[in-house]
């Protein structure tokens, strides 16, 4: 079998592979730009915290309605948003840093979610919650992912300028009377929505990987915000494609395979990226010494 057949055949022969590919395309296009902005705001770990924080809400939706897309999505959305608001409130009324508040609340939420699923479900249910089942996405899940991705891209285009200023200098935006709080709230909702969409396919532990790994890798290849988002989205889509092929041919779980491919792309970017990569820094230091 030639290389072309190996790359194309799984998606030609199997409908579930085509659906999974469409799901990764939607997730990559929507979540990677969000991840890029989280990196710019130095909120990478906050994204990870919110990704795990949706578990108790999704678990409650599962307890009341089983594997109902609407119930689990709504529960996960409100749980992650509640954790974000609680962490922000603690940061405003105490001297604790925002990342520490997020860490505390997300650990509580994660433990509560695992407890709920473990005591009222099976080990299979828990694995489904944690790692997802991208090879079993249905029409409703695909529509949710496509809808969230479309909404994200449109909303980011509308609030791009104030959001960029709010990321880089929120104090300036407040001083000139800009809609800083509104823009921050919209961005927070978009982040949670993309994590909920990713949860349907990759689970709570893997969804944040497709959001943050391409975004952190893009920093080594691009310098402007729009190009960072473009490179991150491209890496996310390619990671989904390559991860699905790897899971098909090597018989690996699909979610971890996709995130591992994204992790490999990050490590390669770390070494070979022209913007701050290890090799570029080494060559630059040698040229300075020779000069």
Q: Give pLDDT tens digits for 13-29.
A: 888 999 999 999 999 99
With beta carbons less than 8 A apart as the criterion, state whether 189 and 19 touch. no
**Tokens representing residue 48 in the block:** 């990870």
Q: How far apart are alpha carbons 212 and 216 in whole angstroms?
A: 6
Query: For residue 178, what is the domain's CATH number?
Result: 1.10.3470.10
Confidence of residue 291 (pLDDT cuts 50, 70, 90): low
**Taking residues 19-48, what's their average pLDDT?**
87
The H or E element that residue 259 is part of is: helix 254-272
pLDDT at res. 227: 92
Which structural domain, as residue segments, surrounds residue 182? 3-290
Q: Over the stretch 160-197, which tens digit does the pLDDT of each residue have?
A: 888 888 877 767 677 777 777 788 888 989 998 999 88
Stretch 199-212: mean pLDDT, rounded? 83
Q: For the chain, how many structural domains are there in total? A: 1
In the predicted model, what is the mean pLDDT of residues 213-237? 92
Decide: 145 and 201 in contact? Cβ < 8 Å.
yes
pLDDT digits (tens, 9 = 90+) for 95-146: 777 777 877 888 888 888 888 888 876 666 767 777 777 888 888 889 999 9
pLDDT category at 246 given cuts 50, 70, 90 is: very high
The residue with tokens 């080494």 is 282
Residues sharing a CB contact under 8 Å with residue 116, sequence separation 6 or more, in sequence order? 56, 59, 60, 63
Contact yes or no for 128/253 (Cβ under 8 A)? no
Residue carrying the six token digits 């701050």: 276
Question: Which distant-in-sequence residues (6+ apart) come within 8 Å of 113 by Cβ?
Answer: 55, 56, 57, 58, 59, 79, 129, 204
Q: What is the mean pLDDT of residues 203-209?
A: 80
* pLDDT(290) > 70: no
Cα distances from 194 to residues 33, 84, 116, 161, 217, in angstroms, run 10, 15, 23, 21, 19
Average pLDDT, the chain: 85
> What is the Cα–Cα distance from 144 to 29, expressed in whole angstroms?
14
> What pLDDT does residue 260 have?
93
Q: What are the start-end ranges of the H helices in the chain?
A: 3-13, 15-40, 44-53, 55-65, 69-93, 98-120, 123-131, 139-158, 160-168, 170-175, 180-218, 225-250, 254-272, 278-290
* More confidently predicted of 132 and 153: 153
Whole-prediction pTM value?
A: 0.87
CB atoms inside a 10 Å sphere around CB 142: 17
Q: Quote the pLDDT of residue 236.
A: 95
- Average pLDDT score over residue span 279-288: 82
């Amino acid at each position: 079998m030639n290389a072309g057949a190996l790359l194309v055949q799984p998606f030609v022969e199997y409908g579930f592979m085509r659906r999974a590919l469409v799901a990764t395309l939607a997730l990559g296009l929507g979540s990677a730009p969000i991840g890029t902005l989280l990196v710019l705001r130095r909120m990478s770990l906050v994204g990870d915290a919110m990704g795990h924080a949706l578990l108790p809400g999704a678990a409650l939706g599962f307890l009341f309605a089983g594997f109902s897309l609407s119930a689990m999505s709504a529960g996960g959305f409100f749980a992650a948003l509640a954790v974000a608001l609680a962490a922000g409130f603690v940061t405003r009324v105490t001297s604790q840093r925002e990342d520490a508040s997020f860490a505390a609340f997300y650990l509580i939420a994660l433990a509560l979610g695992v407890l709920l699923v473990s005591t009222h479900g099976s080990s299979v249910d828990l694995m489904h919650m944690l790692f997802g089942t991208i090879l079993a996405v249905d029409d409703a899940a695909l529509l949710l992912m496509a809808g969230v991705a479309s909404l994200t891209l449109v909303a980011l285009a509308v609030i791009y300028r104030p959001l960029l200023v709010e990321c880089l200098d929120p104090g300036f935006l407040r001083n000139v009377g800009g809609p800083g709080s509104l823009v921050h709230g919209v961005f927070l909702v978009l982040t949670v929505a993309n994590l909920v969409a990713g949860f349907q396919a990759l689970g709570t532990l893997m969804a944040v990987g497709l959001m943050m790994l391409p975004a952190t890798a893009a920093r080594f290849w691009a310098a402007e915000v729009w190009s960072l988002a473009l490179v991150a989205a491209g890496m996310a889509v390619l990671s989904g494609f390559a991860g699905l092929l790897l899971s098909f041919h090597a018989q690996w779980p699909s979610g971890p395979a996709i995130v591992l491919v994204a992790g490999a792309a990050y490590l390669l970017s770390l070494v070979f990226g022209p913007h701050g990569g290890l090799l570029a820094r080494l060559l630059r230091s040698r040229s300075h010494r020779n000069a």
